Chains A and B, each alone.
Chain A
Amino acid sequence: SQTIHQWPATLVQPVGSPLSLECTVEGTSNPNLYWYRQAAGRGLQLLFYSVGIGQISSEVPQNLSASRPQDRQFILSSKKLLLSDSGFYLCAWSWGQGTDTQYFGPGTRLTVL
């Protein structure tokens, strides 16, 4: 069976510090990978998605970036965090053309102070 992991589970960072969130998927190969953000009391915002190693599509211009160094690893980064980067970050994966179910990780709660 497939599992998806995210770490850390929670993170408190000062404004201006760097960020690295990691997501890994087990039990499947060549998945589509996604990063979403949920700000407090708001819905899901798709940040990035990837259909293969080194292939990253950005949905929203911002100070975040994503990388996919391995088939089942997806990393979300920032060089300098802003207060507005606070939120709940969710990683997800899917198969094929992306039209079917996305499977979500447990999330990372990021607080920028």
Chain B
Amino acid sequence: GENVEQHPSTLSVQEGDSAVIKCTYSDSASNYFPWYKQELGKRPQLIIDIRSNVGEKKDQRIAVTLNKTAKHFSLHITETQPEDSAVYFCAASMIPLEDYGQNFVFGPGTRLSVLP
């Protein structure tokens, strides 16, 4: 089955700097890669996602890049702000099949701290 690794486990950056979180996956059949943000005591929420037919996607200060050959994808946050402090989870999945649902395999998470 799919296995997702995520690095680093913790990351501290100064406000205004950039942060990069990297994930690798094992199943070449995976073709959908979402990133979820979880603030302390809150539920995970989708912040950006990318499909395997796209190499990069950007949404304001957040971007995700995908390298299918190397089977890794990364989250990039620019101009970090204190409210970016949270745990970030990457995940890998395949296009949902009616009989099998849409099962994500999540990485272990990265705790990002943005220092003022």
Do A and B interact with each other, yes or no? no
